[in-house]
Amino acid sequence: MSDHPLVSVIIPVYNAAAYIKRAIDSALGQTYPNLEIILIDDGSTDQSAALIQQHYGQDRRVRYGYQVNQGVSAARNRGVQSAQGEFVHFLDSDDWLDPTKIEKSYRLFESNPAIAVVYGHGIAMHPDGMTPIPLDQPPLPSGDVFCEWLTGTMAGGKHGVTPSFMVKRAAILEVGGFDPTITLAEDWDLWLRLAERYPFAALSEKLVYYTTRPDGLHAQALKMAIGRLEIYQKTRSSPRVHECLSDAEYDRLLAGRWHVVAMRHWEQHQRAQARKAFQTANRYDPSNRWKRRLFSLLTYLFPASILE
């Protein structure tokens, strides 16, 4: 029996046969001594299940579950529910961990029992899995980070990638887990709800690798814009919002998110939807109404690229 508390590594799987082994091996290769790996297959139609059984079917540290396709949030939530660890560590099937990631994260939890979340930057990789993508990444906040996640450095979930997060399981259950109704950016929604209640600690090193793919979530600009808008609408009811923004400032923030949604619709040649979104933005913030009215008129005649 290890003196270290159990950490449950949760990996949602969907048609990941081409790369899932790298993710699992990176979890099993951790220097931290007490782990379980929970794989939730979200309705794969490729050879993912057969590959997992072939390579890990006899490994007691690896548990596999299957569900009809419900999306990544439902898969992660099922993983959290079935986890036996005091901590859960998230990992996507096309990403992988430095061997010391969980050990170094656990040290931060040991340093302050109040901490519920440890997270960090990741190293973005091209789809070949060999070539890093240079990125400018600001220092990550620690402690009470709610306002930073709502309006500051972390707003929109641009920094601190999901496979960098190790979280106390009890804290995730307390805030209700991932919201499967959020279109995209569902991870940022959960981090906001956790930040509302618990201190975070940021790692000083980049200890995870995440893959960027042309057909991946990073390319779904319209869905991402709608997801972030949904989260801002949802978070407005938080009792802590006024620590960060006045009502008028929050209205301007929502107007900005509606403006982004309008632009993304326009870029997709969904011009009627773009005009409706511009009108909604004006209701929240009339100060830029003439600019948005001009944009609405331009949608009748031109593609969005005219603004370049």
pLDDT tens string for the chain (308 positions)?
578 999 999 999 999 999 999 999 999 999 999 999 999 999 999 999 999 999 999 999 999 999 999 999 999 999 999 999 999 999 999 999 999 999 999 999 999 999 999 999 999 998 888 888 988 888 999 999 999 999 988 887 777 899 999 999 999 999 999 999 987 889 999 999 999 999 999 999 999 999 886 554 445 889 989 999 999 999 999 999 999 999 999 999 999 999 999 999 999 999 999 999 999 999 999 999 999 999 999 999 999 999 87
- C-alpha distances in angstroms, 197 versus 116, 171, 194, 261? 9, 9, 6, 29
**133 located within any domain:** yes
Do 226 and 191 belong together in one domain?
A: no
**2 located within any domain:** no
Diameter of the chain measured on Cα atoms? 70
**1 located within any domain:** no
CB 281 within 8 A of CB 292: yes
End-to-end CA distance of the chain: 62
Q: Of 42, 45, 47, 46, which Cα lies nearest the Cα of 11?
A: 42
What are φ and ψ of residue 30, in 5° steps?
-70, 145
The domain tally of the chain equals 2
Range of the domain at 290: 221-307
**64 located within any domain:** yes
Do 184 and 300 belong together in one domain?
A: no
Which among 189, 212, 235 is the end of a domain?
212
